[in-house]
Structure 1
Amino acid sequence: MTAPDAQRWLTEPAKDSGYGRTPYQRDRARVLHSAGFRRLASKTQVHTAGSDDFLRTRLTHSLEVAQISREMGARLGCDPDVVDVAGLAHDLGHPPFGHNGEHALDEVAQPCGGFEGNAQTLRVLTRLEAKVPGAGLNLTRASLDACAKYPWPRKPGYPKFGVYADDRPVFDWMHPADLGERRCLEAQVMDWADDVAYSVHDVEDGVHGGYLTLRPLLHDPDERAALCADVAATYSDEPPDALAAALEQLLADPAVAPVADYDGTFAAQVVLKRMTSILTGRFVASAVGATQSRYGNGPVRRYDADLIVPRTVRNQCALLKGMALRYVMRTRAAEDWYDQQRTILVELVHALVRTPERLDLVFGPLHAAAGSDAAALRVVIDQVASLTDHAAVAWHRTLVAART
């Protein structure tokens, strides 16, 4: 790493705690000890947080992404703490109720530029967390850049972006214009670790919860074709025939096929966990091996290299995401509670716009200092996005339901 990589948005006094920690180890500690990180324990991953002791929350998912990122990054020669920070922090901006909540807030936040979980993560890290006034956690340039999955502003027709208009100053400091939309290697490692974790683990959770079984895919060619069509339309640029070949390999894998007989017993859970471990290890090792084949076995970091993921592995990861979408998320989306989640967040935003005095002691002063209606709405969105699932329900009950 270079001296500019270790710079912070606001210069801090030298600190000597006797530990001899690197700037990136300090970054990791700041994320781990942040309020936003703690709140992930009660935020939805796929299933509502607290609905089942087995299922993952945003917190457990983030810990898993950090572990995968750290090991994969270390094998490539990245600074392990930088990729660890990115894994821990990548979901800090996600609101209550997972992607369902994200879509609801994006709709109601249109007058102030919309809402996107990754852009909100940058805002949390650089503005909203209570560590350094005016700079959030005041992480180093390298750690912030590693968190940038989508280093560009909102673009027409493209739902993913990484910065709101009023956060451009710190974004441009972190990611200079001459880099364009290129991502640093650490961000690519985190992004692949995220894909691996949630594709494999969402399938594991779906099988365990009884939402997903592999039997139809093993025995019904039409169902396999329908899944491939779903994936081609949602998660992949590959044609369905290429996905079909990858799916055939995946279902024939001796670590995957036995999961079709899952019955919840201890022995079945061992089989399910074996599949999870083998697929995770394979997806990571394939990316590391392909990247080292192109760039050599020496350390690579920042903008020296791009992560290479073999086509078949990327297709299999996309197929797992498609299984979670087709058999879990769409099932949940049909539930009344799914619609209620969106209603809760939208109505809560409207209620706080009408009664900003109900904002908490962090966001109330920010709202009072807002210089425009759009800026004031952004503060309300920040408040609602910060809430856990349970807190959003409680706030809605107090501010909305009790008045109707």
Structure 2
Amino acid sequence: MDLHELYDDAACARVVAEPPKRVDAPVRTPFERDRARVVHAASARRLAAKTQVVDPQSDDFVRNRLTHSLEVAQVARDLSRALGSQPDIAETAALAHDLGHPPFGHNGERALAELSDACGGFEGNAQTLRLLTRLEAKTFDADGRSVGLNLTRATLDACTKYPWQRDAAQVPAGVHADGAPRRLSKFGVYDDDLPVFTWMREPAPPGTRQCLEAQVMDLADDVAYSVHDVEDGVVAGRVDLTRLDPAAVWQTVRDWYLPDAADDVLDEVLAELRAQGSWPTAPYDGSRRSQAALKNLTSDLIGRFCGAAQTATFAASGGPFVRHRADLVVPERTRLEIAVLKGIAAHYVMRTEDRVQLMVRQRDLILELVSVLAHRGPDALQRSFADDWRAAADDAARLRVVIDQVASLTDASAVAWHERLRTAP
């Protein structure tokens, strides 16, 4: 099938119809244009200075949100191509999936969620939709309102990891790194962004099912997150894959990811991962041979997880593997293997005492910054957010503007803004 047979006019539609490009311009598909818009977005550039797991200014090697997104995009593109769907859609969704994350990674997300209950909460994926359809201005509608990057319906749908509102979200389980109960619900749209969300989901079947391309992005994110966080931990000297403490790691796996996972099952999964030919047999020492061995392990693990999903998906359906016509199938064993790797990184990197203390300071900084901006109003906001403040109808809408402003900051700029505003008269 050609592109138009797989992705019809509805999939290619934009909120604001756009005229054809100049006849002398390069010929691109609608989805190639979407990808270019995300690549050139200011919010994409800011990801380079936002925390993935470790402060991006602390080490030249560690991943930041941008490098993580590039790696997710590569995994998503390859898996999408293998399935026969449009790889530009899955790649763009992967490039965009973390745009809404605030300073200090999930720790900053937790702080903003706790501060924003009066205006509908905060969630990084809902903030991504808000950026793509409102805050990252490129196109305006007939009434003069920003429609963001004006991406196609299919691409926006693929960017929506959690296609439901906050009141439909599952009750969170488990604990944070500091032992506090999780209260951050996963959802993909704020109430005041519901019109564009409804437009985006019009061709979808009822319910909260992700489109196929969003499922590919979601798996690619999990794969990259699990494998590369372990790699970063090994290079930083925090993780030694030859000397793990399974009992401690399994408790973290249960606290963070799989509350019902049994020790014997997780033991079996770890044994299968260790049987991978490239699993290290000696501690990492920083030599080029050790670097190459670690890189081969990450490559093998990514291939293992994506290959298992591809095989299971082909076995379950004849396709085509596009939009809402099929689902990505991830074997349960693969999900367990990914969770084990996540648990290793969480236990040895994210639960360390120095990191927990840093997270407390970061949350205090976010709380103080939101408080000061809410008090000082438009004079302390960037021009675009000051305009939003003045147009806001009530206190809840003004709080949302402050949350939008703080979420847009990088780790370093959040610190700088806090210092400047805290000492200003």
TM over 0.5, shorter chain: yes
State the AA in 2 paired with 1:192.
L
Instruction: Look up the match of 1:6.
Output: 12
Q: How many residues align?
A: 396
Relative to structure 1, is the Cα distance of residues 208 and 8 closer, same or farther in structure 2, using a 3 angstrom cutoff? same
Q: Which has the higher helix share?
A: 1
The match for 2:276 among 253, 257, 277 is 253
- Distance in 2, Cα, partners of 1:162 & 1:179: 16
The Cα shift of 1:238 comes to: 5.5
Aligned: 1:173 with 2:199: yes
Q: CA deviation at 1:156?
A: 6.2
237, 254, 257: which one pairs with 1:235? 257
Separation of aligned partners in 1, 2:26 and 2:55: 40
The farther-off stretch of 10-19 and 284-293 is: 10-19
| Stretch deviating more after TM superposition (106-115 or 93-102) | 106-115
Which residue is equivalent to 1:137? Answer: 149
1:146 aligns with 2:158: yes
CA distance in 1 between partners of 2:128 and 2:267 (Å): 36
SS of 1:12's equivalent in the other structure is coil
Distance change (3 Å), C-alpha of 1:4 and 1:305 = same
Normalised TM-score (structure 1)? 0.94
- Within 1, Cα distance between the matches of 2:327 and 2:231? 29
* Alpha carbons of structure 1 residues 338 and 354: separation in structure 2 relative to 1, 3 Å: same
TM-score scaled by structure 2?
0.90
Distance across 2 between alignment mates of 1:144 and 1:97: 25
The letter of the residue matching 1:303 is H
Aligned equivalents of 1:300, 1:164: Cα separation in 2: 29
Alpha-carbon deviations, 1:243-295, whole Å to 9, x = none? 2211121123231133x511122221111111111101111111111111122
After superposition, the C-alpha distances for 1:97-135 in whole angstroms (9 at most, x for unaligned) are: 101111011111111111110000000000000211320
- TM-superposition CA deviations, 1:36-70 (whole Å, max 9, x none): 00000100000111211111000000011111101
Q: Find the counterpart in structure 1 of residue 230 from structure 2.
A: 203
1:220 matched residue in structure 2: none
Question: Residue 285 of structure 2 aligns with which residue?
Answer: 263
- Deviation, 1:386, is 0.3
For the 8 Å contact 1:225–1:244, the answer to whether it is kept is: no
Q: Secondary structure at the match of 1:94?
A: coil
User: Which residue of 2 is the match for residue 86 of structure 1?
Assistant: 93
CA contact (8 A) 1:72 1:288 kept: yes
Between the aligned partners of 2:17 and 2:367, the Cα distance in structure 1 is 39
Kindly provide the CA deviation profile for residues 221-240 of structure 1, in whole angstroms up to 9, marking residues without a partner as x: xx313322321342236632
The 5 Å alignment of 1:87-166 reads 87-133=94-140, 134-154=146-166, 155=169, 157-158=171-172, 159-166=185-192
Determine helix, strand or coil for the equivalent of 1:362: helix
The one of 74, 77, 96 equivalent to 2:81 is: 74
**1:327 counterpart (343, 348, 355):** 348
Rounded Cα–Cα distance in structure 1 between residues aligned with 2:242 and 2:334: 22
What corresponds to 1:295 in structure 2? 317
Q: What's the RMSD between the two structures over aligned residues?
A: 1.6
Query: CA contact under 8 A between 1:370 and 1:376: conserved in structure 2?
Result: yes
Q: Do the aligned partners of 2:163 and 2:209 also contact (CA within 8 Å) in 1?
A: yes
Q: Does the Cα contact within 8 Å between 1:332 and 1:338 map onto a contact in 2? A: no
Matches of 2:216 and 2:170, distance apart in 1 = 27
Q: Distance in 2 between matches of 1:113 and 1:345?
A: 18
Q: Return the alpha-carbon distance in structure 1 between the equivalents of residues 354 and 135 of structure 2.
A: 31
**What CA distance in whole angstroms lies between the structure 2 residues aligned with 1:183 and 1:43?**
27
Which position in structure 2 is the counterpart of 1:225?
Answer: 247
Contact kept, 8 Å, 1:126 with 1:135, in 2: the verdict is: yes
AA partner of residue 199 (structure 2): W
Distance verdict in 2 for CA 1:374–1:196, change over 3 Å: same
Q: Give unmatched runs, 5+ long, in structure 1.
A: 218-222
Q: Unmatched 5+ residue regions in structure 2? A: 1-6, 141-145, 173-184
**How many Å separate the matches in 1 of 2:18 and 2:354?**
47
Superposed structure 1 runs of 4+ greater than 6 Å apart = none
**What is the rounded CA distance, in whole Å, between the counterparts of 1:348 and 1:55 in structure 2?**
27
Paired residue type of 2:323: R
Q: Write the letter of the residue equivalent to 2:68.
A: H
Of 308, 311, 328 in structure 2, the residue corresponding to residue 286 of structure 1 is 308
Q: Of residues 182, 188, 202 in structure 1, which corresponds to 2:209? A: 182
Instruction: Please give the alpha-carbon distance, in whole angstroms, between the structure 1 residues aligned to 2:30 and 2:220.
Output: 23
Aligned-residue offset at 1:20: 1.3
User: What secondary structure, in the 3-state scheme, does the structure 1 residue paired with 2:278 have?
Assistant: coil
- Aligned mates of 1:196, 1:85 — CA distance in 2: 17
Letter in 1 for 2:72: V
For residues 103 and 332 of structure 1, what CA distance do their matches in structure 2 show?
18
